[in-house]
Amino acid sequence: MTRFHPQSTTICAESDAAEVPRPEYPRPDRDRSERWLNLNGSWDFGARGFAGQITVPFAWESQASGVHRTWLEQGTYRRSVAAPVEWGTARVVLCFGAVHHHAVVRIDGAVVGEHVGGYESFEFDVTDQLVPGQPAELEVVVAAPADKRAIPHGKQRSIPRDDYDGVSFTPTSGIWQTVWLEARGRTYAQSVVLRGDSLTGIDVTVRLAGDTPTAVPVMASVVGSGETLELVADNDGSATGRIELTDPTPWTPEQPHLYQVEVWSGSGEGADRVVATTGLRRFEARGEELYLNGERCYLRGVLDQGYWPDTGLTAPDTPALLHDLQLARDLGFNLVRKHLKLEEPQWLHEADRIGMLVWAEPAGPSRFSPEAAAAFEAQLPAMVERDGNHPSIVIWGLYNEEWGLDWDIPGSQLRARAAADAYHRMRELDDTRLIVENSGWSHVRTDLVDWHYYEPDLGEWKKAMARLASGEQDTFPVRLGPGFTVDKPLYASSDVPRRGLPILNSEYGEGFTSLERAWHLRWETQELRRHDRFAGYVYTEFADVEHEAAGLLDAARRPKDWGGCIPASVNADTVLILDVDPLVAGADIEPPATSFGLDIRVSHHGPSSASGVVYAAWVESGAPIDRMVTAPDARTPRVVAEPFRLSPPATLTVPAHSAPGRLLLWFADPDGRVLARSFLDAAETEPPNRRGARPGEFVGAPVPGLE
């Protein structure tokens, strides 16, 4: 088999790459960067009331696009394009990262294809339309209806407004991911599916397209080791086999080992080459527990909506896109739930590379109809084909909170069937990951029982966690709108067992200010960690989006004022569980006039037991919680915490401290290594001021002067 190795060009553009937005090759996980042409940059653009230039790949609603117009329902993009002369007789493929929502693509006036679906990637073979070296006009006509109720649109705002408009954002319409040309062999790999869940080898499926996709030799080789698989495509243009690895190395968050598989098809000068990436990884449920490569796993996740100021769903640049993953890791999370958005392959590849687990989910419609359910399912094959090779993706989410199902799975067999059908369709497409059919509520067919619960009262939160863990409670109140609160069940079908599936939270968080949110993060997460039955949690959320200020970071990804809280300590493998009913943010307890006993437990999710002593020291208010203290004021007896089992309580005698202050708490092993940190703020509290309240509105203890 003759091979060619053209000079690699990862960043490619018609002129100066620095002038082209998002210049990097957009598919590092399926690499053809040796011969490609970036088409981002300035295009001619016309829409009702606008004629001028638009900057691709930014949505026309965004400032970065140069258009900055909302509720345009159609736009036409045009630019000149030419395949490089040096591509010779290669086949030329025009690729789109994503276009919302319906795209018709023409070259010199002739339609080369159309695509429906605003989040999936798609491509057209344009070999017959583009002669190397000769310019042609590329036109993309995009329809993006304002009425999005029946199309997958996630959190893009719609007219008429969605029921959940209060948590929806500026739409992202038109071309919003990179557009590029690729040179490929005369018969080429249209898709490469790699799966490593055996942990001993890589299952390979290659589907061919081009001149002669049948009876063509296909070779797949592991880069670096040389282990090779030789196949011949069948009459359907598919070749399937398995590369057995002599010394397999699994992919884990701690050691995210990746395998590159070089796939060749055809022979001679027309041969095709692509390098795809995957990892050996098995993620599974065993009863109510989760396992990664046979080791117990606990998910510490954060919800990330993937929005940026001025650019919407499109990251302003690749460093910003990838840095979000490191920020999530710095906050202590080991999983990102990418919410209602198929994130760019560059982001997923970075998650693979650094070892971040991913809960991936598509956008959904907002109102139910058979057409809406069909549109939702129609995007699933493209999602799995594009993203299924990534070892970082361990969970496929589908519907979210019955959006697109009218919040009515319990009352509608038709809507319940739509959720179950989506599950079964996803299971047909990918049998290697766990699937959640309707995140948060009303499960009818799922591999995980997850729930969303927002509760401002920490006392009630603590009780609810205990009831959910014991199985005593399987409903919870959900405020869907002003004066509209419903009790949502976890289970809407007898097909979902009440025991035997992993149960975990996948949305929580409270507080109006950043201080309150950090305070709720500390105490609500503690109560989730108190109960060994839970398999994990997903905090809401990573960063602010427009009017939604629920992030640990602001919209520009800057840390907020957390009042001394260190999220990485809250989300660590090992944490302290304090038997305290906290009062308010900034005053967990009143300054103790006398000493008191504080029971402390340890939740530990390491591979082996942890032992040590919990120490305490009073310091001034606001002192850093990771301050080194050489002379603690108190200590517990030795504590032993077994993996994934809450330790018995150890009592710490806290000395009196009549003034405001901060009680530092740390768990250290016999070598002095600190395994966990926490703290208690002591300050005076007073009843809230409710002067001027209408009769009957005051809640709480009377305030002097209001009687």
The pLDDT score that the predictor gives to residue 269 is: 87
Q: Using DSSP, how many helices (H) and how many strands (E) does the chain show?
A: 8, 41
Which of left, alpha, beta for 456 (phi over 0: left; psi -120 to 50: alpha)? alpha
- Asked if 136 and 73 count as a contact pair (C-beta separation under 8 A), the reply is no
- Which stretches of the chain score pLDDT less than 70? 1-18, 696-707
The pLDDT score that the predictor gives to residue 18 is: 54
* Helix ranges (DSSP H) in 401-457: 413-429
CA distances (Å), origin 333, targets 119, 244, 355, 569, 578: 26, 33, 11, 10, 21
The pLDDT score that the predictor gives to residue 697 is: 61
Q: Which domains does the chain have, with CATH numbers?
A: 17-184 (2.60.120.260), 187-283 (2.60.40.10), 288-571 (3.20.20.80), 576-682 (2.60.40)
Task: Provide the pairing of β-strand 91-96 with 201-210.
Answer: unpaired
Beta bridge partners of 301: 335, 538
- Asked if 665 and 616 count as a contact pair (C-beta separation under 8 A), the reply is yes
Rounded distance, CA 641 to CA 647, Å?
Answer: 5
The pLDDT score that the predictor gives to residue 420 is: 98
- Asked if 118 and 153 count as a contact pair (C-beta separation under 8 A), the reply is yes
The pLDDT score that the predictor gives to residue 696 is: 67
Rounded distance, CA 639 to CA 614, Å?
Answer: 8
Rounded distance, CA 253 to CA 394, Å?
Answer: 12
Say which DSSP state 383 is in.
H
**What's the one-letter identity of residue 482?**
P
Enclosing H/E stretch for 637: none
| Beta strands across the sheet bearing 41-47 | 50-56, 41-47, 74-81, 136-143, 102-107, 110-116
Rounded distance, CA 542 to CA 554, Å?
Answer: 9
What's the pTM?
A: 0.95
Rounded distance, CA 41 to CA 23, Å?
Answer: 9
Residue whose token pair is 């789109």? 96
* Helix ranges (DSSP H) in 388-487: 413-429, 458-470
